[in-house]
Amino acid sequence: MLVSAKEMLTKAKAGHYAVGQFNINNLEWTKAILQTAQECNSPVILGVSEGAGKYMCGFKTVAAMVKAMVENLKITVPVALHLDHGSYEGAKACIEAGFSSIMFDGSHYAIDENVAKTTELVAICEEKGISIEAEVGAIGGEEDGVVGAGECADPNECKMIADLGVTMLAAGIGNIHGKYPANWAGLSFETLAAVQEKTGAMPLVLHGGTGIPAEQIKKAIDLGVSKINVNTECQLAFAAATRAYVEAGKDLKGKGFDPRKLLAPGVEAIKATVKEKMELFGSVNKA
């Protein structure tokens, strides 16, 4: 069974740890993350971007796969299936498809339109017991071909959106998706503290979890971050392990070309990355 992210994030905020959102791209990714969450006895959020949803044959296919996998693998830790950076239409499609959590990224709309659309989606989610994440201040970097500039959110706008009744709020604090440039200034803890002061108990979300130094992650959690998104780091780990396997010529020996064997090192690399993040975020044994 899939659960809303509300309870796991309320507990995380109170307990001063963060729940990881790990993005899924296919069956192997999903299985690796679910098995690691179970092994770590950690709650987990599976993130699905609109592009990944399309790749996996639509949100209904994704929801059916994840639900069946949770049952088949006998996963007992809380699992939320979450739309990552959803459009207004994508959010509605995921609610329809059986996702237990959505993100409506209205950060590119003018604030009035962001408020109107978020209000409508909050009402639908409330009725269905689904959690909803909103974003204020675009997160920089590239995701699904959309390039943002890495802003710091206005704490007053954050309060306005938080008061609409969203479950969690992603506020830009200088974080970006993908790899951080060598001259990156780091997270703006000043912005984070100001947002936290305005939004109180609201769980805050940190996007762009790949490549943020561990001390900054810990400080962000201390200052109210309860959900951290990681995507690129799993992709890099998967690619490196697959490359090493092929470069060593292992795909040419025996049945090394069998996809189950060929993908196995990458899967193990994803598991190791997810475990390391769960330990860093403090969510191990918090299920």
Choice from 90, 203, 209, 265 touching ligand 13P (CB under 6 A): 209
Site string for ligand 13P, 227-256 (x = CB under 6 A): --xxxxx-----------------------
Binding mask 23-62 for ligand 13P (x = CB under 6 A): x-----------------------x---------------
Question: Three-state SS string across 102-144, please?
Answer: EEECCCCCCHHHHHHHHHHHHHHHHHHCCEEEEEECCCEEEEC
- N-to-C CA span, the chain: 14
The reply on whether position 177 binds ligand 13P by CB under 6 A is yes
CB 31 within 8 A of CB 44: no
Count Cα neighbours of 236 within 13 Å in the Cβ-side half-sphere.
10
H-helix segments, 214-263:
214-222, 232-247, 259-262
> Which of the residues 84, 105, 163, 258 is marked catalytic?
84
Segment interacting with ligand 13P (CB under 6 A) among 26-34, 51-59, 206-214, 257-265: 206-214
- Per CB under 6 A, the list member of 13, 82, 207, 286 interacting with ligand 13P is 207
Structure tokens at 228: 């951290």
84 counts as catalytic: yes
Question: Per-residue x/- marks for ligand 13P, 5-24, CB under 6 A?
Answer: ------------------x-
- Largest CA-CA distance found in the chain, in angstroms, rounded: 62
- Within 8 A by CB and 6+ apart from 284, the residues are 40, 41, 42, 278
| One-letter amino acid of 90 | G
Among the candidate windows 161-169, 192-200, 226-234, 239-247, which touches ligand 13P by CB under 6 A?
226-234
Q: Least CB distance from residue 282 to ligand 13P, whole Å?
A: 18
What amino acid positions are annotated as catalytic residues? 84
Contact footprint for ligand 13P (CB under 6 A): 23, 47, 84-85, 177-178, 207-210, 229-233
